[in-house]
Structure 1
Amino acid sequence: MTAVTAVTAVRSAPASVAVVGAGAIGGSWVALALAHGLRVTASDPAPGAEERLREAVRAHLAAIADDPDAALTRLDFEADPTDAAGDVDLVLEAGPERIDAKRELFAVLDAAAPADVLLASSSSGFGPSAFQDGCRHPERVVVTHPFNPPHLVPLVEVVGGRATSEQAVQAAMAAMRRLGRRPVRVRAELPGHVVNRLQAALWREAYDLVRRGAISVADLDAAVASGPGLRWALLGPIATQHLSGGPGGLDHVLEHLGPPMVDWWADLGDPELDADLVAALVGGVREELGGREAAVRAARDAALVELLATKERWGLDATARPDAGGER
């Protein structure tokens, strides 16, 4: 379905937002928006969704808001997404990762929201072209894929579809900055966007190394977290590689390590995710964490807050440089 009338302007400085879907990602979006002073209307038809959401949001706000109680006064709840989307400046969808559900939901949101309101999906793998064609105004439909948990991790991938206007993409970039995020523009619709594809490439080799018996799950996690992961948390993989080359930079690295790296690529694994490998991975990580998942998650989130503050103090905070990177 094509647009009835193309929208020439999309709101880019939201004061209010609807978050549709009150699961883990939706609750994190809600807390983030509240912490940045926005009024939020959340929506989820599941029984007990409002109570679970408020409990989760209160916990998130404790880490990012000066006055969680005051922030929570700006949160409303509507079970019906039509009621949530009717009078806001931005709609963030965080529903199930099923294409049929997204197509149906975006048709509902498109009919309910004013025509100049951006409709943004949190989809971790679908591009907008997969579900925007059922909308009257597909040009205002984008993906704003956050990195979990969105209230702490700044990254958001912004993806336009075949019918998405350039103005809508730019409005999405601006709206994400309004929420204190670091948006990166993904210029092609790819399964998994960019960052999940990078993660998948690492996981594929990690899983294969475990399958081969080359390393245990615990030692593999330690190897990444105590080695390259430390550097990647401060700079990306290509900038890190450039700095490792000394005065010659990336030219020197690729000249001397490029040929052997090509040989490594040829030897990378292509594992089957069969029952034996799944059992080895699940058993390995359970042994590694030893039932401490909740405590480790809480410690990780607290450390993320401190890490982001450290990056900002040392001038390595990309969110402070909205024009950094290739968004143009």
Structure 2
Amino acid sequence: MMRPNPTKVSKVGVIGTGVIGGAWALHFLRMGMEVVAYDPGPNAKEKLLKMVDNIWPTIEKLGLREGASKNNLSFVDSLAALANQVEVIQESTPERLDAKQQLFAELDGIVPPEVVIISSTSGFAMTDMGKVLDAHPERFVVGHPFNPPYLVPFCEVCGGERTSQEVVDWTAAFYEATEKQVAKMDKELPGFIGNRLQEALWREALHMVANNECSVEDIDKAIAYGPGLRWAIMGHCLTYHLGGGQGGMAHLLDHFEDALEEPWTRLKAPKLTQELKDDMVAGCLAQANGASIDELVQERDDCLILIMQTLEQYRAEKGIKR
């Protein structure tokens, strides 16, 4: 059979239905697709159905495509039952390399060759996960989302040494058809793009707390009310481009070249002592001020929806395409 048009996919398989896999299921349901889910974990079906019920009001706030319904979700009790009825598979199982290799080897033997198999892995290279593949390694690719995938509209696509370019392009087009902004990576890189950028910031934050230079609250305040607001609009590099005035990025680089040698960052991770762990936890709990995780998730989701809707409205009015 021919691989389906990436913009016409109507039935998606989701393997692993935890925090990430369940969120992917919600995203695809919102797009009006049928979702066939599989997870061998205890009470996985009940947990997924509860997650869908709890988050569906948020999904409705985002807006539903024609035909979207949580009733389009079905759950099967084996990989074989899923293998022959879906057009693409999104894998979101626990981050264990040996387990993913075993799973992918099994899928490669039972899933039709035209079906693209995408991994949500947050750090493993497709080349490493695909070492055990014999039949069709070219159709395995990484599609790394940002949590929660039903809400954050960004995904990184990265193939391995044996992934075909056609599959990388197909996967990017598939995600774009589901309203994702996609970064197609040119090379495999541990942690991909977003996680590496976040990790640099995270390590510097840990240094600041470890050295008693500022509080956890002030670190988060500096991001949420400082560059974080700008990053939601233009990202880091384009923001710096504006920092160069009419000369743009070229002027900025010339003007601040020497500043790159200044000790403004400490990228080597500090030792994660128990004291540092305790300080980070205490700081986050203080900021939460008694709110539960579910309450914080709802606050985050509602605010992100408002931000994204505002950006979409403004850009539509101004004719800005970005």
**TM-score for both structures, normalised by structure 2:** 0.91
Matched, 1:302 2:269: no
Matches within 5 A, 1:164-313: 164-265=163-264, 270-292=269-291, 293-313=293-313
Aligned partner of residue 189 in structure 1, secondary structure: coil
In structure 1, how many angstroms separate the alpha carbons of the residues matched to 2:169 and 2:4? Answer: 9
Matched, 1:56 2:51: yes
- Equivalent of residue 96 in structure 1, options 81, 94, 97: 94
Aligned partner of 1:128 in structure 2 is 126
Instruction: Note if contact 1:158-1:169 (Cα within 8 Å) is conserved in structure 2.
Output: yes
Matched, 1:43 2:38: yes
Aligned partner of 1:18 in structure 2 is 13
Instruction: Note if contact 2:12-2:36 (Cα within 8 Å) is conserved in structure 1.
Output: yes
Aligned partner of 1:315 in structure 2 is 315
Structure 2 counterpart of 1:102, one-letter code: K
Aligned partner of 1:33 in structure 2 is 28
1:172-223: CA deviations, max 9, x gaps? Answer: 0111112211111111111111110100000010110111111000111111
Aligned partner of residue 315 in structure 2, secondary structure: coil
Q: CA deviation at 1:138?
A: 0.4
Aligned partner of 1:115 in structure 2 is 113
What's the C-alpha RMSD, in Å, of the aligned pairs? 2.2
In structure 2, how many angstroms separate the alpha carbons of the residues matched to 1:41 and 1:242? Answer: 44
In structure 2, how many angstroms separate the alpha carbons of the residues matched to 1:70 and 1:10? Answer: 20
Q: CA deviation at 1:287?
A: 1.5
Aligned partner of 1:76 in structure 2 is 74
Instruction: Note if contact 1:11-1:89 (Cα within 8 Å) is conserved in structure 2.
Output: no
Q: CA deviation at 1:269?
A: 5.8
In structure 1, how many angstroms separate the alpha carbons of the residues matched to 2:64 and 2:209? Answer: 46
Matched, 1:149 2:148: yes
Cα distance change of structure 1 residues 70 and 163 upon mapping to structure 2, 3 Å threshold = closer
Cα distance change of structure 1 residues 113 and 243 upon mapping to structure 2, 3 Å threshold = same
Instruction: Note if contact 2:33-2:68 (Cα within 8 Å) is conserved in structure 1.
Output: no
Identity of aligned residues (%): 38
Cα distance change of structure 1 residues 266 and 71 upon mapping to structure 2, 3 Å threshold = closer
In structure 2, how many angstroms separate the alpha carbons of the residues matched to 1:316 and 1:206? Answer: 36
Q: CA deviation at 1:308?
A: 1.1
1:230-266: CA deviations, max 9, x gaps? Answer: 1011111010011122111112222222312321356
Aligned partner of residue 131 in structure 2, secondary structure: helix
In structure 2, how many angstroms separate the alpha carbons of the residues matched to 1:81 and 1:187? Answer: 31
* Count of residue correspondences: 314
In structure 2, how many angstroms separate the alpha carbons of the residues matched to 1:211 and 1:10? Answer: 52
**TM-score for both structures, normalised by structure 1:** 0.90
Cα distance change of structure 1 residues 72 and 100 upon mapping to structure 2, 3 Å threshold = same
Runs of 4+ aligned residues of structure 1 deviating over 3 Å after TM superposition are: 7-11, 65-70, 265-270
Q: CA deviation at 1:11?
A: 5.2
1:9-63: CA deviations, max 9, x gaps? Answer: 5752321000000101111111111111111100001121111101111223222
Instruction: Note if contact 2:20-2:147 (Cα within 8 Å) is conserved in structure 1.
Output: yes
Cα distance change of structure 1 residues 76 and 268 upon mapping to structure 2, 3 Å threshold = closer
Unaligned stretches of 5+ residues in structure 2: none
In structure 2, how many angstroms separate the alpha carbons of the residues matched to 1:21 and 1:147? Answer: 16
Instruction: Note if contact 1:91-1:118 (Cα within 8 Å) is conserved in structure 2.
Output: yes
Cα distance change of structure 1 residues 266 and 34 upon mapping to structure 2, 3 Å threshold = closer
